[in-house]
Chain A
Amino acid sequence: MRKEGVFEIVRTLIVILLALLLAFLIVVGVSKEPVLALNKFFLGPVSSPRYFGNVIEAAIPLTFAGLAICVMFQAKQFNLGVTGSFFIGAVVAAAIAIKVPLPAGIHPLVAILVGGIVGGAANFIPAILKAKWNASELVSSLMLNYVMTFLGLYIINFVLRDVYAGAMVSLKFLPTATLPKIIPKTRIHLGLFIAIFMVAFTYFFLYRTKWGYALRTTGLNSSFAKYSGVNINSVIIYSQVIGGIISGIGGATELLGMYSRFEWQAAPAYGFDGVIVAILARNNPLYIPLASFFLAYLRIGADIMSRATDVPSEVIAVIQGIIILLIGAERFLAKWRHKIVVKSATESLEAKGGKQNESAI
């Protein structure tokens, strides 16, 4: 069992190496200055505290998105509505940050909690459609992303808009509402702790509660779960609602930590980012921050590279795709895995056989 766990980690690392090798080849292939490009790509993020801060800042929302997807994927609910619930959570937080005066300390807390509730409410729609009428949560959550995006933009544009600003942005948040920065020279904010708290919460929920157990059992084998007395429909609903709450909290935290007014003109695609992170972390909440850090590092590296050289940052799109495809591939390195399983089985049999022989003597 332990050897198989090690195998999974080694396999993930091999996939990452392969993906990086591919990135290396693409950069060398398209760039006129490949050495500079590769240097910026792989070492750029650690070249200054500010850049490294950017990595942590980018990893925070990815952690929320990854956790949300992780909860839903563990229940085998392919809900990609994180994009929409993240966005609408941020919009609602913006509304509270602008319109509702509250004392400092409580203000961001209220905004984030309400953002979470609204995010959960958004994901309740595909969840109830699936539970009641067996409508594909995949398709309905994808459609809902667009609905939430336009609804959010409407609220920003018609209710919260700063008409004196040159662009389509909201009014400034009240100073009490923003999350304080915690590390000088960077924009790393208090949301880092909220993210760490959510990691612990999600782990506790999935592995230490009855609900989490029912959720994981349903994901592994829904017929078995059903015959063991799990209410599948309630799992379908609460897994997606909790996913929505986590991503709504994520949207609100990101907004209040990084911005002083609402500036997004479209919903950032955190739903798909969350899938990458969750797949990298093998759906284990404890690995999510690591996976988020890795993805954020790649993205910031690519960004630094594209600003200094002729290679566009979108090169990482290819890496992300390959990572999902290969880590998801059951058969990738399957022969090797088979060998490990056989070997450990023979070893344990031999060990047992040895003991029996001893006792016989």
Chain B
Amino acid sequence: MKVLFDVIFSTAFGYAILRVTTPILFAALGALVSDRAGVTNIGLEGIMLSSALAGVIVSALTGSAWIGLLAAVIVGILIGLFMAYFALNLKTDIILTGIAINLMASGGTIFVLYLVAHDKGISTSLNSKIMPSVALPLIKDIPVLGPILSGHNILTYFSLIAVLLVYILLYKTPLGLRIRAVGESPNAADSVGISVNKVRYIALGISGALAGFGGAYLSMGYVSWFSTNMTAGRGFIALAAEAMGRGMPLGTFLTSLLFGFADALSNSLQSLRIPAEFVQMIPYVATLLGLVIYATQEKSKIEKAKRG
């Protein structure tokens, strides 16, 4: 037990939480934007995976991590719009669309990786770049907080800024108002002249872009290579984080941190003498428990509202 506390109450652990939260947070914000527009994006997992590969390949080709990041985000946007076309124009169920995207991405990335790197598992033969890490001036010298907050990959700071940007987008801009209106009541929005499909297209594009950032972080920050199915369910965990965050940017940030905590715990405990299977299970069990707790609260809230 003492070992456990030593692990948790260390600055290295605090640093690790932010590090592993980043991809979940990006994807959860992506889930948030599309969900507020009334479309569930379960293709986040596939988008992240495709973007992770795009980032690695393009950064290796151009020698620039930034162009790799750009490619990853563009791929994310394109897949988001591709989903929108099928879900909105051709009326494929959005859940099926997401499943199709995930299937295509998990096999398609292996296909492309094999063509480019002649390997079906990992991209280490490509000379891909990583995004730089940043030491925050002033903050890095504060005891305890400094080592936790400073020295992260620049994309980790982007993800924190993205929380703020998504908040501003949703609550302080005309587009955000439209997104929320379309999500709350598409018919009402339509009746006042808002093009529901256009707003949803934009929302899925933004959702794809955010997941694209998450994917780029995985292969160009978290680690420096692409490996098959490296997202490991983070896109799905992000959906759970968004649901528990009550569709709010700040709430989503906090629940993402919670899952980041579980993920970091699972990474740190691997050195202890606990069966690896149970340790690896932690993030998923935590998500499941989180969903239950969230759902019970929602239910009692609804019942209270009914009685009141």
A binds B: yes
Least CB separation from A276: chain B residue: B103
A157 / chain B contacts, CB cutoff of 8 Å:
275, 277
Q: Is there an interface contact between A154 and B277, defined as CB atoms closer than 8 Å?
A: yes
Report B90-148 residues with CB < 8 Å from chain A CB.
90-93, 95-97, 99-104, 106-108, 110-111, 114-115, 120
Question: Which B residues are CB-close (under 8 A) to A139?
Answer: 236, 239-240, 243, 287, 291
Which residue of chain A has the shortest Cβ distance to B88 in the bound complex? A331
Which chain A residues border B296 with CB–CB below 8 Å?
133
Contact A272 B107 (CB under 8 A): no
Q: Is A232 an interface residue (CB 8 A)?
A: no
Evaluate contact between B277 and A153: CB separation under 8 angstroms: yes
| Chain A residue contacts of B97, Cβ below 8 A | 325, 328
Select which of B107, B120, B278 is within 8 A of A320 by beta carbon: B107
CA distance A329 to B92 in the complex (A): 4
The chain A residue sitting closest to B91, CB to CB, is: A330
* Interface size band for A: 35 or more
**Considering only CB atoms, which chain A residue lies closest to B284 in the complex?**
A146
* Distance from B262 Cβ to chain A, minimum over Cβ atoms (Å): 11
Tell me if A134 and B299 are in contact (CB < 8 A): yes
Task: Give which listed residue, A30, A133, A312, contacts B292 with CB less than 8 A.
Answer: A133
Interface of B, secondary structure class, is helix
CA distance A325 to B88 in the complex (A): 12
Are A314 and B86 interface neighbours, CB within 8 A? no
How many chain B residues touch the partner (CB < 8 A)?
A: 47
* Cβ proximity bits A275-289 to B, threshold 8 Å, 1 near / 0 not: 110010000000000
Question: Is A49 an interface residue when CB atoms closer than 8 A count as contact?
Answer: no
Interface presence of B63 (CB below 8 A)? no
Q: Which of B89, B108, B281 has the most CB of A within 10 A?
A: B281
Min Cβ gap B112→A in Å is 9
Chain B's closest residue to A125 (CB) is B288
Q: Given A146-B281, A147-B284, is A135 in contact with B107 using a C-beta cutoff of 8 Å?
A: no
Task: Kindly list chain B residues whose C-beta atoms are within 8 Å of the C-beta of A153.
Answer: 277
**A318 / chain B contacts, CB cutoff of 8 Å:** 104, 107-108, 111
Chain B residues in 8 Å Cβ range of A146? 233, 281, 284
On A, residues with C-beta under 8 Å from B are 30, 78, 80, 125, 129, 132-136, 138-140, 142-144, 146-147, 150-151, 153-154, 157-158, 269, 272, 275-276, 279, 312, 314-318, 320-322, 324-326, 328-332
Q: List 7 A-B contacts (CB under 8 A).
A: A139-B236, A139-B240, A143-B284, A147-B288, A269-B106, A329-B91, A330-B90
